[in-house]
Chains A and B, each alone.
Chain A
């Protein structure tokens, strides 16, 4: 039987490798990976050491910077700055009203329009957002969940209007509704109704958008909300299993959609724990997909992930020090084998980033990629007794949590995730872990530079911050008024009537009706309200 090294070598030799001298600065030649002949290898099941045999020698991670503020025009300009500075993927941040499926002129949107991201009301905003950007070439990620199907339909409508057919669109829809109830809390419909929309997007993209990632299963927000690393790992993968079971229930074969699932993890400040978390995630996903869900395609088993450095680790005090924190966290993501990375800007404990701060954050990735030589060797920490043991421990803790979730769902991970949400099980665990960590900060057990210790410099003048004014909100409302005044209102009403009728029939895939409504310049809020009359609303019972 072939050794794992031989299996790896075969895969490596079939990979196209970027040219360049793979050697140390002093000229010592470097192998693509190191390890014993019968050990784990990248690109070889269970992929602990990386999804691909050649890792960064074939393709660097995508430097995907998350951006969005004000109106679509404002964000379009920032997107172009990012592309001109060498960023090679876009990631769209939507404002709070858009995240909750509300229009900019809704009374609940007061003060929130364009603040936390870009305001999108109709396909016209989507058109301006990606103006003069070739969506057939650059991939786009959209951080949107409750109204994900609506925003995807608007994205398709504007791309096709501009001549790029949906089949050519490459990108990612976050579309991970389960973690909204657990952690991020931008929910609208009740979980089971919301999962129907996730199912519809998975089935639609599997059939019509071969380059599209339908769900980005996100631990990032779970961690930011206060979970431990092991909880982030376990809750995220459990949600992933839930989506697999959801799609399988609707009759899709696992290998038809699992290759289009991707993941999104946090890179927090505990360097080695994070690296162990990524390694364990790949191993667990491969094993569960193969053994429990019967996947056979290699792409189904290979966990690929995006990473974002930890927003919660940033401090408002001495903000330049955040560049250092972000660098360390980004390096953990890279040494852990990430496929895509967003680095936070130094000013984000106070506001959305300025152009200058965002550029420094991108430069941080470029230094790691181009100066440090850490990309030459795959999984450079594999074989470290410490990292290997920590990887195993992460896996053990995750399996314990899976057993709890499976019990909540009486054998089903899908029901376990939904029941756990309805019983506040995830929410309570996350809040408990957040409070436990806070207790350690307050007791002095953990130090934060500039906050608990080393305070000299805290009184220095604040750095320049991005200001979003109420004028942006007014401007967006005027844009929306103009669309409402000029569109064909009969076509809008007709599109909404179809949507509402189809929403009542769970057998129908709602994507075609949503695309039709988008083309008719129907607003996000109108589509969400139509579906809401059928689906109802989720209300969280407040617990401390």
Chain B
């Protein structure tokens, strides 16, 4: 079965180099990829993910807002009765990773994560789910 992935930018962060690379990596690995575009909110991302019936959500976050905004995406999903897993990638200091996982984020990809590990992590998150 082809995995469907929603990759999203939430908040005000315009850095889209990473998310576009990740989108292409996942597409080249055979997944169906939907990109939300910039300046989304936790609610718009949760709604889009449910509407599109995706298997995984990937959030790209480089502005330091991950601790505030990423858990809100998980909350928005849960409040809609969805358990779609959320993976966060970007500029995330190591000590934030356990805190994000405690808030319901499935996996965190830090700076320099190689292409293969991005693909494997998304796949693993979908399978666990």
Contacts and interface: CB of A to CB of B under 8 A. Distances in A.
Interface stretch (B64-72, B78-86, B98-106): B64-72
Contacts of A541: 37
A544 B9 CA distance: 13
Interface string B90-123: 0101110000000000000011101110000000
Nearest to A184: B14
B21 A435 contact: yes
B26 to A, nearest CB: 9
A201 B115 CA distance: 44
B64 A544 contact: no
Nearest to A69: B64
A174 interface: no
A110 B111 CA distance: 24
Contact of B68 (A110, A315, A349, A448): A110
A440 to B, nearest CB: 11
A442 B111 contact: no
Given A96-B11, A185-B16, A317-B112, A116 B63 contact: yes
B13 interface: yes
B36 interface: yes
A83 interface: no
B93 A115 contact: no
B37 A438 contact: no
Nearest to B64: A115
A115 B20 contact: no
B114 A112 contact: no
Contacts of B64: 112, 115-116, 351-352, 468
Contact of A111 (B35, B38, B65, B91): B65
Contact of B12 (A108, A184, A435, A470): A108
A148 interface: no
Given A315-B112, A349-B111, A465-B93, A112 B11 contact: yes
Contacts of A186: 12, 14
A414 interface: no
Contacts of B129: none
B45 interface: no
Interface string A317-346: 100000000000000000000000000000
Contacts of B67: 111
Interface string B16-42: 110011011101000001011111010
A96 B38 contact: no
Contact of A224 (B17, B23, B27, B41): B17
A111 B11 contact: yes
Contacts of B38: 185, 540, 542
Nearest to A224: B17
B63 to A, nearest CB: 5
B112 A544 contact: no
A99 B95 contact: no
A431 interface: yes
Contacts of B63: 96, 112, 115-116
User: Which of B41, B91, B95 is packed against the most chain A CB atoms within 10 Å?
Assistant: B91
A438 B14 contact: no
Nearest to A541: B37
A217 to B, nearest CB: 19
B68 A96 contact: no
Contact of B112 (A316, A468, A539): A316
Contacts of A102: 12
Nearest to B16: A185
B15 A544 contact: no
Nearest to B11: A112
Contacts of A256: none
Nearest to A448: B112
A259 interface: no
Contact of A97 (B12, B14, B33): B12
A115 B111 contact: no
A99 B14 CA distance: 10
B114 A442 contact: yes
B60 to A, nearest CB: 12
Contact of B94 (A225, A352, A462): A462
A504 interface: no
Interface string A436-475: 0010011000001011100000000010010010100000
Interface string A204-228: 0000000000000000000011100
A182 B25 CA distance: 22
What 6 A-B pairs come out closest when comparing CB atoms?
A: A111-B68, A185-B14, A542-B37, A115-B64, A111-B65, A96-B12
Given A111-B68, A112-B65, 14 more contacts: A96-B11, A96-B13, A108-B41, A111-B11, A112-B64, A184-B14, A225-B17, A351-B91, A441-B114, A442-B114, A442-B116, A542-B36, A544-B20, A544-B23
Interface of A: 96-97, 99-100, 102, 108-112, 115-116, 180, 184-187, 224-226, 312, 315-317, 349-352, 431, 434-435, 438, 441-442, 448, 450-452, 462, 465, 468, 470, 539-544
5 contacts: A96-B12, A351-B64, A451-B114, A544-B20, A544-B33
